[in-house]
Chain A
Amino acid sequence: MSVPAQTAGLNLRPRRLRLIRRGKLPWIPILILGAIVFVAIFANLLAPHNPEVGVLSERFRPPFWEAGGSTKYLLGTDQLGRDVLSRLIFGARISMVVGFTAVIFAGAVGTFLGIISGYLGGWVDQVIMRLTDTWLALPALTFAIFLAAIVGPSMWNIVIILGAVYWTRYARVIRGEVLSLKERDFVRLAIVAGCSKWAIMWRHILPNVLNSAIVLGTLMLGVVIVAEASLSFLGVGVPPPQPAWGLMLADGKEGLMVGYWWLTVFPGVCIMLMVLSANMLGDWLRVRLDPQLRQL
């Protein structure tokens, strides 16, 4: 009994691996994301200065190649004399932590609700889908701003809020897949073999929707990072003096009119690079892992 099961498993796995190996890996987004993760992990070692404490006499120093800049502050300083480079480095940590945990949180909730909604059907399905429709009707960012305004700013509140706002995207897609999966033979066989509903959902349905969840999650990473930056920019996200990129943009806005361009350009470039690589990686994964999502 266990032998055919094992060979079936062996047959499946190499094929999936080969599929990934055959195409060229998207090196650009992998390198960018890898670099950001590296910087985020080793922020303490890499940052030349304390990101939250500045020297007031060194305010508004331009990057080192401009007149008045010094190599002590490679990318200049902000309105409190804090080193921009160090703040960007620690900001990577905030973006990564918020981005990944919010995506995983939203993905876990959305996938779970999508599976039970699609598989159980009936009133469970009705309740979850009506709720999804309603939450999708609110513009995501406005909804997040509303929640953030109620619960107050903190990094973990933002994670929970973004998770609570974005789970609906997963629930919709996953439910659709479950609806077609549950008519398939392997699920019927599992029912005949006497598996309980929960066992079927956990052991047979979940592994089959995981690819879609991963693709969606990668694409959501970019969305969530922009949302976090927007909330921080508006002052309801990560509270100061923490060096979130969106917050840096908000601070830099005052200096913009007098030409302190580095406070606006550098954090924005960081956000763009991260979102760009998440989107590129997501597009690539979509084509590789999930033929059904290709048209999206």
Chain B
Amino acid sequence: MRRYILRRAGYAALSLLLLSVTIFLFVRVTGDPAALLVEPGASPGDIAAIHHRFGLDRPIWVQYWLFIANLAHGDLGQSFYYQIPVMRLYLERLPNSMILAAVAMAFSLLIGIPSGILAAVRVGRFWDQAGKLFTLLGLSMPSFWVGLLLILLFSVTLGWLPSSGGGGPTHIVMPAFALGWYFAAAHMRLTRSSMLEVLGSEYIKLARIKGLPQSLVIAKHAFKNALIPVLTLAGINLVLMVNVAVVVETVFAWPGIGRLLYEGIAFRDFPVVQGVVLLGGVMIVIVNLLVDIVYAVIDPRIRLEK
């Protein structure tokens, strides 16, 4: 058990190391980072000053070491546009992204789980077919287009909901739905297959033989067990939602980290772009590690795996 966790932690640490090298190298190999740091049309003297200020005139391994050392202190550099540390900016925006992700997750589970169960119980019939169509649409409509259509319907035509910004609870409805839409399809697919597996098991047969009514078999015996993999996936997706909402947050001007990334691009604020991407990767590596560990605690077979 301890060996398994140590090895997983080692992999995670290696991933983080590779992640930092990847991002560090990409920035430097693809061009002069100073060019990203200055206004377009800066004089050579300005560029040389930037080189010196950020240590870009030093050997590359020294630069990498400084990059890592700063990172370890939580120092991601200074935002050019806002003139405050990137880390502070990130932490300011993070709660907004988390709220958005939580509401989006609620939407996606409220749609995905009931429709997945319905499709599994009526497998091959109308609701299953309708569910398949829904999954296909969910996976084929880009979330930002769903967002734009929602604005068109609920803000422009009906005038019910505000089209952009953060604030009251009405602001979150549309971005959360647009973000949750794609994941609803994934959650439905998994609920259906997980439910089908459970429904075919011996203990469900036993419950049926006992003469329990269909509704009780499904609600009490099948549902609970079928839910485990769905909730696991939902946990991972929640972290993913925090990090992939760039386009949706941009459409609705929701002040989260996705919007921050977009602003970083629009204002050529390179430390912000680098910081958001790096922290997103760190968050996901850590969650993957936690999931591995939780699995090992729950299921002893995994611990023995090589």
| Contact A139:B243 (CB < 8 A) given known A268-B145, A271-B142 | yes
* Bound CA–CA A131/B288 (angstroms): 15
Residue of A nearest to B157 (CB): A259
Is the C-beta of B228 less than 8 angstroms from some C-beta in chain A?
A: no
Which residues from B are CB-within-8-Å of A256?
148, 151-152, 156
Which residues from B are CB-within-8-Å of A275?
139-142
| Total chain B interface residues with beta-carbon distance under 8 A | 50
Whether B23 pairs with A264 at a CB distance below 8 angstroms is no
Residue of B nearest to A259 (CB): B156
**B284 contact from A139, A226, A264, A272, Cβ within 8 A:** A139
Whether B144 pairs with A138 at a CB distance below 8 angstroms is no
* Bound CA–CA A146/B140 (angstroms): 24
Which residues from B are CB-within-8-Å of A271?
142, 145
**A142 contact from B22, B243, B251, Cβ within 8 A:** B243
A contact patch SS: helix
Give the interface size class of chain A.
35 or more
| Contact A230:B148 (CB < 8 A) given known A146-B274, A235-B265 | no
* Bound CA–CA A279/B23 (angstroms): 32
Is the C-beta of A100 less than 8 angstroms from some C-beta in chain B?
A: no
* Bound CA–CA A276/B261 (angstroms): 29
* Bound CA–CA A50/B19 (angstroms): 45
Tell me the A210-239 residues at the B interface (CB within 8 Å): 222, 226, 229-230, 233-236
Which residues from A are CB-within-8-Å of B50?
none
Residue of A nearest to B28 (CB): A150
Whether A253 pairs with B261 at a CB distance below 8 angstroms is no
Whether B284 pairs with A138 at a CB distance below 8 angstroms is yes
* Bound CA–CA A135/B285 (angstroms): 10
* Bound CA–CA A145/B278 (angstroms): 12
Whether B265 pairs with A264 at a CB distance below 8 angstroms is no
* Bound CA–CA A22/B139 (angstroms): 28
Is the C-beta of B161 less than 8 angstroms from some C-beta in chain A?
A: no
Which residues from B are CB-within-8-Å of A264?
145, 148-149, 152
Is the C-beta of A130 less than 8 angstroms from some C-beta in chain B?
A: yes
Whether A138 pairs with B142 at a CB distance below 8 angstroms is no
Is the C-beta of B244 less than 8 angstroms from some C-beta in chain A?
A: yes
* Bound CA–CA A268/B148 (angstroms): 9
Tell me the A247-263 residues at the B interface (CB within 8 Å): 249, 252-253, 256-259, 261
**A139 contact from B18, B149, B157, B244, Cβ within 8 A:** B244
Which residues from B are CB-within-8-Å of A193?
none
* Bound CA–CA A234/B258 (angstroms): 11
Is the C-beta of B26 less than 8 angstroms from some C-beta in chain A?
A: yes
* Bound CA–CA A236/B273 (angstroms): 13
Which residues from B are CB-within-8-Å of A139?
240, 243-244, 280, 284
Per-residue CB contact flags for chain B residues 140-178 toward chain A (1 = under 8 Å, else 0) read: 111011001101100111000001000000000000000
**B137 contact from A236, A249, A253, A276, Cβ within 8 A:** A276
Whether A142 pairs with B18 at a CB distance below 8 angstroms is no
Residue of A nearest to B240 (CB): A139
Whether A137 pairs with B144 at a CB distance below 8 angstroms is no
Per-residue CB contact flags for chain B residues 259-272 toward chain A (1 = under 8 Å, else 0) read: 00110111000100
Residue of A nearest to B141 (CB): A272
Chain B proximity of A229: nearest CB distance (Å) = 6
Given A149-B273, A151-B31, 4 more A-B residue pairs with CB atoms under 8 Å apart are A138-B19, A142-B246, A252-B148, A280-B136
Binding site for B on A (CB under 8 A): 130-131, 133-135, 137-139, 141-143, 145-147, 149-151, 222, 226, 229-230, 233-236, 249, 252-253, 256-259, 261, 264-265, 268, 271-272, 275-276, 279-280
Shortest Cβ-Cβ A-B pairs, 9 listed: A268-B145, A276-B140, A134-B18, A146-B277, A275-B140, A138-B281, A134-B15, A226-B142, A139-B243
